[in-house]
Amino acid sequence: MALETNAFATYEAVGNREDLTNAIYRIDPTDTPFISGIERAKANATKHEWQTQSLAAAASNKQLEGDGFSAAAATPTVRLSNECQISYKVARVTNTQRVVNKAGRGDEMTYQMMLKGLELRRDLEVNVAGTNQAKATGTDTAARALASVLSWLKTNTSKGGGSGADPSAADGTGTRTDGTQRAFTESLLKTVLQSAWTNGGKPDTIMVGAFNKQQFSTFTGRSSPIEQASSKKIVAAVDAYESDFGRLKVVPNRFMRTRDCLVLQMDMWAKATLRDMNTIDIAVTGDSVSKAIVTEMTIEARNEKASGGVFDLTTS
């Protein structure tokens, strides 16, 4: 078969309109389980401070009848701090792009600012849960840095061999030293849960990357898939873990380090905000418009003994 003589086809046509769907499809993840799950606090200075309190160790307590009272030594509070870190994203759009006819969106600047806001939320999740970063006060030439979750966890940890080490102090001033990676096992997790409970913690959330979320689903009680014939489903995932010390949610986090498993008591962490996410108009320097989305925040580690982590895990 061949095109008939003098049949005018789309290949020769000049004025056919384009067929462009009036929608834009985006699949990049925007869920931020750590930032979204912890509590909220207000920071009032670039150095945000809080206090923790410990009780005297429990001991046998028997006294003589009629004995005179004597005071026990008082346990002072511990004063901790973290630095507020500034994070921002800038959108810049030419005035021409703002007025041309576009598919899938109206004003280009409004659309770009929406995207930058989503990107900034992802960055904040990386800042607190996906970096191994100590706090830094900053200078005129160096940005302030908040101490990420990893720089606080010291008491209830399981780490790999070799040079693997916890931060030197649980105060945000140090970082973890990565050790030799090993497979994630239920035994490693149980060790951390027991330690957290012994120290008074009540962890409620286990946070892992994609590979170790699948590893977790092979733990005891789910070593093989369960088929539900009535609903025609095969269940091979674990979204909750009944431990000897309570029930924990199992949450995958795309933005944390994949070699880590965080065992968290979520109400013992808080996002302390000095400046809420807000839009700033940037001065015009050419035939374009620029806006910035800016926030300034840090995290409170209200008591790191309530949480813990299994570190140095294999990721493939």
DSSP category for residue 35: H
Question: Quick check: 261 pLDDT over 80?
Answer: yes
**Torsions phi, psi of 113, nearest 5?**
-70, -35
Report the pLDDT value the prediction gives residue 308, as an integer from 0 to 100: 98
Q: Is the dihedral of CA 108, 111, 115, 116 positive or negative?
A: positive
**Structure tokens, 300:** 């409170």
Taking the CA atoms of residue 215, residue 217, residue 222 and residue 225 in that order, the dihedral angle to the nearest 10 degrees is -100
Confidence of residue 224 (pLDDT cuts 50, 70, 90): very low
Question: Quick check: 223 pLDDT over 60?
Answer: no
pTM of the model: 0.88
Indicate the fold that domain 33-50+77-310 takes in CATH.
phage-related protein like fold (3.90.1690)
β pairing state of 205-208 and 246-252 = parallel
**pLDDT tens sequence across 82-117:** 999 999 999 999 999 999 998 888 899 999 999 999
CA distance 33 to 40: 14
Domain-wise residue ranges, the chain: 33-50+77-310
**Torsions phi, psi of 252, nearest 5?**
-80, 140
DSSP category for residue 13: -
First to last CA, the chain: 54
* Among 119, 54, 41, CA closest to 82: 41
Report the pLDDT value the prediction gives residue 25, as an integer from 0 to 100: 76
**Structure tokens, 233:** 């489903």
CA distance 286 to 281: 14
What mean pLDDT value characterizes the chain?
91
